[in-house]
């Protein structure tokens, strides 16, 4: 027997009298996203707007909080600068990302050594130009769009056009929710953001396809049910799987966010928002939109189109 089972519930997700909820939810997130973009905009990271990258080698593992405080001082690299630790105990390294500015490398290196009381070697210094950032932004945008259209195309072939359009609208909701998060809290958009968008799209579609597959399966042998009843039944039959999978994934991401440090948090927090959004959209957006499209298709067929 399953630990949690919702198969006996009859939750009215897509009945006509409840369709105002998913429509309001979808429009609210998109309107809030556009308003936030107009009011606050987006905080593009160094990968996209350009800046400096500096590899620093230490003789022993450094205190990351001391390094971060030193790096983010205004006379060094500034508050927007970030650090990322890599390497191992024998060769500890830190990558510093900072906004473009004139810096005195020898002077900063001396202050670094004094502050940390360690041998500090600046091994590699790179400048990321704005042109390169624009090219990366363009490539990332096209990659995301190709992924989204590829997912929709697969669903169109695997199911039919109504399922595909419903999945695209659900993905539009997921992307809008993530953009709203980045804009509203002015989180930096870097390579981690692109990872979060792609993970969210994949996870959301995975949940959505499971619900759609159950709808198609039930439609084949439960012909006595109306479309609304069929959609409700299919959601309820897959609800326990969706909720438990999402809870497990979110629990793992929360552990990474709390215990993984600031660098891991920049990746895990957007994924938490994305997974939560993907779970909501697969239940409350994709399935109701499919119901609306099926009613529209049925009406057109009845009129002879």
Residue 157 Cα distances to 104, 145, 160, 165, angstroms: 58, 18, 6, 12
247 and 275 inside one domain: yes
pLDDT at residue 19 greater than cutoff 60: yes
Residue 82 Cα distances to 26, 239, 262, angstroms: 34, 40, 9
84 and 163 inside one domain: no
Average pLDDT over residues 225-229: 80
16 falls in which pLDDT band (50, 70, 90)?
Answer: very low
66 and 215 inside one domain: no
3-state secondary structure 197-264: HHHHHHHHHHHHHHHHHHHHHHHHHCCCCCHHHHHHHHHHHHHHHHHHHHHHHHHHHHHHHHHCHHHH
Tell me if 8 is assigned to some domain. Answer: no
Q: How many domains does the chain have?
A: 2
Average pLDDT, the chain: 80
Q: What is the pLDDT of residue 14?
A: 47
Closest to 80 (Cα-Cα) out of 64, 93, 65, 68: 68
Cα gap 38→30, rounded to integer Å:
12
57 and 198 inside one domain: no
Domain edge (last residue) among 128, 162, 189: 128
32 and 174 inside one domain: yes
The CATH number linked to 18 is 1.20.1640.10
- Tens digit of each residue's pLDDT (9 = 90 or more) over 30-59: 999 999 999 888 887 776 776 787 788 887
- Tens digit of each residue's pLDDT (9 = 90 or more) over 179-194: 999 999 888 787 778 8
pLDDT at residue 101 greater than cutoff 80: no
150 and 259 inside one domain: yes
Which two three-digit tokens encode residue 32? 């809030």
Domain edge (last residue) among 108, 128, 148: 128
CA atoms within 13 A on the CB side of 302: 6
The CATH number linked to 95 is 3.30.70.1340
- Tens digit of each residue's pLDDT (9 = 90 or more) over 62-89: 778 888 888 888 777 777 777 777 767 7
162 and 189 inside one domain: yes
137 and 124 inside one domain: no
Q: Nearest 5 degrees, angle CA 42-CA 47-CA 50?
A: 90
Range of the domain at 181: 14-44+132-299
pLDDT at residue 260 greater than cutoff 60: yes
Helix boundaries (H) for the chain:
20-39, 46-49, 64-71, 105-116, 130-158, 161-184, 191-221, 227-259, 261-281, 287-302
Domain edge (last residue) among 88, 112, 128: 128
- Tens digit of each residue's pLDDT (9 = 90 or more) over 236-257: 888 888 888 889 999 999 998 8
Q: Quick check: pTM over 0.85?
A: no
Cα gap 281→278, rounded to integer Å:
5
Which two three-digit tokens encode residue 188? 């930096």
Closest to 162 (Cα-Cα) out of 229, 223, 106, 231: 231
Q: What is the pLDDT of residue 61?
A: 78
128 falls in which pLDDT band (50, 70, 90)?
Answer: low
Q: What is the pLDDT of residue 131?
A: 62
Coil vs helix vs strand at 189? strand
- Tens digit of each residue's pLDDT (9 = 90 or more) over 137-187: 777 778 778 877 888 888 888 888 888 899 999 989 999 999 999 999 888
Tell me if 63 is assigned to some domain. Answer: yes
171 and 248 inside one domain: yes
149 and 80 inside one domain: no
**Residues 6+ away with beta carbon under 8 Å from 25:** 173, 280, 284, 285
Q: CB of 277 within 8 A of CB of 253?
A: no
Average pLDDT over residues 268-283: 90
Q: CB of 144 within 8 A of CB of 191?
A: no
Q: CB of 177 within 8 A of CB of 277?
A: yes
């Amino acid at each position: 027997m399953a630990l949690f089972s919702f198969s006996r519930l009859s939750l009215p997700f897509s009945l006509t009298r409840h369709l105002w909820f998913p429509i309001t939810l979808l429009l609210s997130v998109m309107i809030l996203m556009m308003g936030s973009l107009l009011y606050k905009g987006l905080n593009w990271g160094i990968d996209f707007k350009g800046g400096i990258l500096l590899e620093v080698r230490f003789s022993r593992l450094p205190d990351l909080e001391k390094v971060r405080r030193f790096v983010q001082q205004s006379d060094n690299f500034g508050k927007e600068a970030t650090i990322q630790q890599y390497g191992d105990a024998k060769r500890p390294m830190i990558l510093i990302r900072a906004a473009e500015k004139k810096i005195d490398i020898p002077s900063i290196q001396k202050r670094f050594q004094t502050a940390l009381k360690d041998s500090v070697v600046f091994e590699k210094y790179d400048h990321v130009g704005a042109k390169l950032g624009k090219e990366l932004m363009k490539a990332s945008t096209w990659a995301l769009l190709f992924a989204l259209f590829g997912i929709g195309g697969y669903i169109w072939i695997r199911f039919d056009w109504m399922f595909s359009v419903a999945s695209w609208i659900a993905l539009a909701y997921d992307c809008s929710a993530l953009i709203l998060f980045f804009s509203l809290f002015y989180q930096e958009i870097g390579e981690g953001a692109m990872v979060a968008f792609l993970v969210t799209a994949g996870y959301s579609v995975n949940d959505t396809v499971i619900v759609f597959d159950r709808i198609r399966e039930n439609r084949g042998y439960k012909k006595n049910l109306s479309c609304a009843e069929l959609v409700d039944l299919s959601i309820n039959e897959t609800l326990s799987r969706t909720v438990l999978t999402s809870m497990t994934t979110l629990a793992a991401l929360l552990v990474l966010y709390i215990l993984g440090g600031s660098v891991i948090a920049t990746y895990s927090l957007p994924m938490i928002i994305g997974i939560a959004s993907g779970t909501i959209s697969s239940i409350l957006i994709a399935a109701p939109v499919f119901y609306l499209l099926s009613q529209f298709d049925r009406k057109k067929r009845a009129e002879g189109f």
